[in-house]
Structures are given as C-alpha cells and as structure tokens.
C-alpha cells in the first residue's frame, strides 16, 4: 500500500496520474449529470410525460419558497419553479422547505403530503460562510510558494 502511494505521488508519474485523475472526475461528473436527470426525474421530468408520473411521490429536499398563494405556494431549487398545492400557513417568501408530494398530471402540480420548514437554514449558511472564510484566512499563514510548489510554513 505504502509503495503504491509513493508510486502515485512520484514526480515522474505526476503528468500521467493527473491526466487519469482529471479524466476520472470528468467521467464521473458527466455520468452523474445524466443519472441525476434520468433516475429521479422530479417535477420537470414529469412535465415531459405527465401520464407516466400519475401518483408518483416526488421528493424535494431544501427548496426556496418563491411565491405564496391561496392554498398553494411555489418553490424552486435549480431549475424552473414548481407549483405545490398545500396550505402555506407559517411560510414566508425566501424560506427553505423540504416537501414530499404526489404529482397530479391533470393540474400539473405537486400535491403536498409532508412538509418540513428549515427554520435555521440561514444560520447554517452563515456558519458555513464563517467556517470557509476562517480556513481561507488561514491559508496564507499556513502555506507559501517556493521553487514552483506549494510548501507548508513552519
């Protein structure tokens, strides 16, 4: 094992290993992008072929509330907004919610079954930014550039 790691990390193998590692990441990324759109089609996939999705449960984990209506609301994550039928009591625009719902092909909406309001999401995002900034501030104190390579200080 130790020998294998030394071989992978040797300078003379670096260009080839870098090529293999980058190629693997590109392959994985392309494959996952295809998998994500096909395996769990979600609302957008159901819209392409509504009858095939009748009664199917759709999971939407941590989406943002865009609009509130009478007995309905609209949420969005990456792609187009999704209309959800469900009482929006306790929701405000900008809130983060997770929703499990059934696709209704006639009305082309998601009928809410379970909803979770992520009340502390903004605090979590703020803490994440703080943690990331902390590490970024540490970088120039921990590393420097010497002889064409990054080296640890101290």
Residues that bind another protein (CB under 8 A): 5-6, 8-11, 14, 17-18, 21-22, 24-25, 27-37, 39-40, 59-62, 76-79, 98-100, 114, 116, 118-121, 123-125, 127-132, 134-135, 138-139, 142-143, 147, 149-152
| Token pair belonging to 70 | 């009478």
Query: What's the min distance (Å) between Cβ of 150 and another protein?
Result: 5
Contact 26, 18 (CB under 8 A): no
Q: CB-wise, 107 or 122, nearer to another protein?
A: 122
Q: CB-wise, 13 or 107, nearer to another protein?
A: 13
Q: CB-wise, 93 or 114, nearer to another protein?
A: 114
Query: What's the min distance (Å) between Cβ of 65 and another protein?
Result: 14
Query: What's the min distance (Å) between Cβ of 52 and another protein?
Result: 19
Torsion of CA 114, 119, 123, 126, to 10 degrees: 50
Neighbouring CB atoms inside 10 A of 88's CB total 21
For residue 108, give the H/E element and its range.
none
Q: CB-wise, 106 or 130, nearer to another protein?
A: 130
Query: What's the min distance (Å) between Cβ of 9 and another protein?
Result: 4
Q: Could you please report the per-residue DSSP string of 25-88?
A: HHHHHHHHHHHHHHHS-HHHHHHHSGGGGTT-EEEEEEEEEEEE-SSEEEEESSSS-EEEES--
């Amino acid at each position: 094992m130790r020998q294998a790691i030394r071989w992978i990390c040797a300078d003379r193998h670096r260009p080839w290993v870098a090529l293999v590692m980058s190629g693997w990441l590109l392959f994985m990324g392309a494959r996952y992008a295809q998998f994500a759109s096909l395996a769990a089609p979600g609302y957008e996939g159901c819209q392409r072929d509504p009858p095939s999705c009748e009664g199917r449960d759709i999971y939407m984990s941590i989406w943002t509330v865009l609009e509130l209506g009478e007995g309905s609301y609209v949420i969005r994550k990456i792609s187009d907004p999704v209309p959800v039928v469900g009482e929006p009591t306790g929701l405000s625009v900008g809130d983060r919610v997770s929703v499990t719902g059934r696709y209704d092909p006639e009305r082309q909406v998601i009928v809410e079954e379970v909803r979770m309001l992520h009340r502390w999401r903004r605090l979590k995002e703020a803490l994440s930014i703080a943690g990331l900034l902390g590490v970024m501030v540490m970088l120039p104190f921990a590393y420097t550039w010497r002889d064409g390579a990054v080296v640890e200080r101290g």
